Amino acid sequence: MNNTYSEEEIERLPFMDKNLDLEKRVEDLLGRLTIEEKFKLSSGRFMWQTKPIKRLGVKPFIMYDGPHGVRPDTMREIKSTYFPSAICRAATWNPKLSYDFGKAVAEEVREVGAHMLLAPGINIHRTPMNGRTFEYQTEDPYLNKVLAVATVKGIQSQRIAACVKHFICNNQETNRLTVSSEVSERALQEMYLPAFKATVLEADAWSFMTCYNKVNGIYGSENINLLRERLMGEWGFRGFTVSDWNATAFTNTAGCVKAGLSLEMPTAKKYNKSKMIKAFREGQFGVDNLNDNIRRLIRVMLLVGLYDDEKAIPKGSRNTPEHQAIARKIAEEGIVLLKNENASLPLNINKIKKIAVLGPNKNYKLVGDDFLSGGGSSVNFPPYEISPLEGLKEKCLNRVEVTNVPSEADATIIFAGLNHDSGKDAEGEDKNSFELPSEQIELIQKTSKECSNTIIVLINGSPIAMNSWIDSVSSVVEAWYGGMEAGKAIASVIFGDTNPSGKLTITFPKRLSDSPAHVSKRTFPGDDKVYYDEGIFVGYRHFDARDIAPLFPFGFGLSYTTFSYENLMIDKNKIRSDDEIKVSVDVTNSGSVEGKEIVQLYVQDVESSVERPIKELKRFEKVFLHPNETKTVLFELKKEDLSFYNETVNSWIVENGTFKILVGSSSRDIQLQGEIEYIG
């Protein structure tokens, strides 16, 4: 007979002793659970939490959305900091800001009494039409890896679990519950897995969320190869996996248990008591699989301090000035200046007398009257939100007149772009157009004839076409969805208080048909299957290999100053397998204002037995420079930075031969290059 313990007795049980070894605590609690209690712990309740086991004092483990700030309710009663979208954060190319964001948002998770944040989302940008592009970071696996690791470390520094999602190849919303992503092993290894793998090996991520879709014919929640073999076996993941909400709809109970799915959310469907008992009694899964799944969940419960004294765990905080400052800093550094003809920007507040402000997004705020208008799991309810127009008016107060008549203005700013309505930048379906809405295009074309200095500020989370209007405007600013401080951040850049330093993490194509996923219906959106026929040639790799000119390339972003690159130095010209290569370059601010430059290092395999990209990002660094200041940027490369995944031998290899080291300010602006020879 199973003991029912009093509160005093529970306090004395070994798993409650925080001074005891973690694994001993895990095994103690696991050993006290009955088989039915383990079944009970395998699924959620009340949308966001696990079920309690009162007999043993096992509390609910609570997890909340989302990637841009914690949202504990849908009634708007609990306000929390609304941070910029992930694509904006990534456009800073600043790992420290990703860490700071992670730490800050985790403090908010802790303050609302939860233990895990359902973030970060790190799916690769395969198509600019994905409705959730704004929630993800980049098309490049190396940049994705660096920023994902920093974010997870920031979150878990507060003993809040990060839940890395969506594992894996959830690169579109169309048919996401049923579609099978048909992808080669090389593409998995080189493009889609690296960031997920790094969050385990470098950041010890405590949870992974399984994807809705199938991967090569098997749903993510019951994919033994992805979960048991790779994630847990090869990478040594010690945390637990949780299904995306209702992602188990078309799976099999035993299949999920055997694959390593610890927790089905939000409620029991495949993991309900009767199905679990039936499958277990019929021998469809064994107690070892079940124990491993529950062991992993218990481990994370202990890691986040579920049974520790509150004084022993980090203290939470919410809506603090510090968090708001981080939100603004990310918004400012994430803004990308795409065009600036005749140095139209920044506007000089001491000389300009009148600006016209137009466009549907001038009053943009995340959440309107409709809860779903926030983009699905990215909905936030901030205590305040500064719209672009409010930010400009605050900046211009008593100095510059703000009007809506372009013909009378010294400059006109049009806030164009998208929003989180269905068919735009929103979860649940992909974008229904690559163009701006026709009324916005007409407004831009009409206004540019009335005002010679027309500036477009885009509020959006994914690439859009610009061919029909970009030549008629003087400047284009990509401001993304910039969080609750967006209005202030935009005004700061427009008037030059902040020198823009963001760079694109995704290629902006001139035409949708130029994108690698848009060859045919087979490659996007597919039907029951979507074929990743482009393989590793995603994003700039495709544009380079096929010699297609993008509208704006990966890594691109202008500044109000200029930078020069000199003195590329490589410390050795021949390297062997265990060597490190040191690469240095001098970067000078050759302009008249202080600014930040993102120095990018790419590698090219000059001759290979398989087709390889023209270049691949392998290092980057963001440097701050005063006018006329020079800094030496140092990079270190290893053998793995030269390697590719060989499907013939199923391993990473480096072939002997020449490699080019390319350093520049974007993927299409290589300033300096050198060579090394790999001799095994």
The CATH number assigned to the domain holding 638 equals: 2.60.40.10
Same domain, residue pair 267 and 367 = no
Same domain, residue pair 620 and 503 = no
Across 278-284, average pLDDT: 97
Classify residue 296: in a domain, yes or no. Answer: yes
State how far the Cα of 435 lies from the Cα of 560, in Å rounded to an integer: 28
Task: Give the total number of structural domains in the chain.
Answer: 3
Instruction: Please list the alpha-helical segments (H only) found in 410-539.
Output: 438-450, 486-494
Phi, psi (deg, nearest 5) at residue 28: -65, -50
Same domain, residue pair 261 and 116 = yes
Same domain, residue pair 301 and 332 = no
Classify residue 136: in a domain, yes or no. Answer: yes
Q: Tell me, what DSSP letter sits at residue 52? A: P
Same domain, residue pair 302 and 347 = no
Classify residue 530: in a domain, yes or no. Answer: no
Classify residue 173: in a domain, yes or no. Answer: yes
Q: Please, which pLDDT band fits residue 371 given cuts at 50, 70 and 90? A: very low
pLDDT (tens digit, 9 = 90+) per residue, 373-431?
Answer: 557 888 899 999 999 999 999 999 999 999 999 999 999 999 999 999 989 999 999 99
pLDDT (tens digit, 9 = 90+) per residue, 472-493?
Answer: 999 999 999 999 999 999 999 9
- In sequence order, what are the residues at sequence separation of 6 or more whose Cβ sits closer than 8 angstroms to the Cβ of residue 576? 678, 679, 680
Distances in Å between the Cα of 375 and the Cα atoms of 63, 120, 316, 461 are 19, 16, 26, 11
Strands lying side by side in the sheet with 563-570: 563-570, 581-589, 630-637
What pLDDT, on a 0 to 100 scale, did the predictor assign at position 2?
72
Q: Which helix (H) or strand (E) holds 478?
A: strand 475-478
Last residue of a domain, one of 286, 312, 338: 312
Q: Please, which pLDDT band fits residue 370 given cuts at 50, 70 and 90? A: very low
Q: Tell me, what DSSP letter sits at residue 494? A: H
Phi, psi (deg, nearest 5) at residue 162: -85, 140
Last residue of a domain, one of 505, 521, 537: 521
Indicate the burial class of 606 (C-beta count within 10 angstroms; 0-12, 13-18, 19 or more).
exposed
Q: Tell me, what DSSP letter sits at residue 473? A: -
What pLDDT, on a 0 to 100 scale, did the predictor assign at position 368?
55
505 vs 422, which has greater pLDDT?
A: 505
Q: What is the pTM of this model?
A: 0.98
Same domain, residue pair 575 and 459 = no
Strands lying side by side in the sheet with 669-678: 574-575, 669-678, 657-666, 595-605, 616-625
* Catalytic residue annotation: 244
Same domain, residue pair 346 and 403 = yes
Same domain, residue pair 455 and 576 = no
Classify residue 547: in a domain, yes or no. Answer: no
Q: Is the pLDDT of residue 369 over 50?
A: no
What pLDDT, on a 0 to 100 scale, did the predictor assign at position 73?
87
Q: 């970009």: which residue's tokens?
A: 470
Q: Which helix (H) or strand (E) holds 88?
A: helix 86-91
Q: Please, which pLDDT band fits residue 578 given cuts at 50, 70 and 90? A: confident
State how far the Cα of 500 lies from the Cα of 475, in Å rounded to an integer: 13
Q: Please, which pLDDT band fits residue 279 given cuts at 50, 70 and 90? A: very high
What pLDDT, on a 0 to 100 scale, did the predictor assign at position 344?
96
pLDDT (tens digit, 9 = 90+) per residue, 103-147?
Answer: 999 999 999 999 999 999 999 999 999 999 999 999 999 999 999
Amino acid at 219: Y
What pLDDT, on a 0 to 100 scale, did the predictor assign at position 562?
98
The per-residue pLDDT of the chain, averaged, comes to 96
| 163: CATH | 3.20.20.300
What pLDDT, on a 0 to 100 scale, did the predictor assign at position 381?
92
Same domain, residue pair 77 and 153 = yes
**Tally of helices (H runs) and strands (E runs) in the chain:** 17, 27
Q: Which domain holds residue 415?
A: 327-521
Classify residue 535: in a domain, yes or no. Answer: no
Same domain, residue pair 238 and 266 = yes
| 517: CATH | 3.40.50.1700
What pLDDT, on a 0 to 100 scale, did the predictor assign at position 373?
53
Last residue of a domain, one of 500, 521, 542: 521
Same domain, residue pair 517 and 582 = no
Query: Among 4-13, 214-223, 664-673, which stretch is predicted with the lowest mean pLDDT?
Result: 4-13
Same domain, residue pair 286 and 331 = no
Classify residue 285: in a domain, yes or no. Answer: yes
Distances in Å between the Cα of 91 and the Cα atoms of 154, 470, 479, 500 are 18, 21, 10, 11
Across 537-550, average pLDDT: 98
Classify residue 533: in a domain, yes or no. Answer: no
